[in-house]
Amino acid sequence: MCLAVPTMLTEKREDHGTVELAGVSREVSLLLVPEAQVGDYLLVHAGYGIAVLDQGEAQRTLSLLNEIASASLDT
């Protein structure tokens, strides 16, 4: 299953930045999302920010992912 988890942009340096989720930070390229601002949520693929999500969108996705993560599953 593929994946794209919203991560928050915490630092921006020209076309590079740092995103963070639950204490894990990653360097990403902002080449494809030059409009991204610190505090925005980004979808990241292969080290590139590929989309900027608004707060509501990001929260809806994160809560859905958390719901899945904590579901009891038969293995």
Binding residues for other proteins, rule: CB under 8 A, are 1-5, 7, 21-24, 26-29, 31-32, 43-48, 50-53, 57, 60-62, 64-75
Q: How far is the CB of 40 from other proteins (least distance, A)?
A: 12
Write the DSSP assignment of 1-36 as a string of letters.
Answer: ------EEEEEEETTEEEEEETTEEEEEE-TT-TT-
Q: How far is the CB of 6 from other proteins (least distance, A)?
A: 8
Question: Residue 65 has what DSSP assignment?
Answer: H
Cα angle at 58 between 57 and 64, to 5 degrees?
Answer: 95
Of residues 12 and 21, the one with the C-beta less far from other proteins? 21
Of residues 24 and 38, the one with the C-beta less far from other proteins? 24
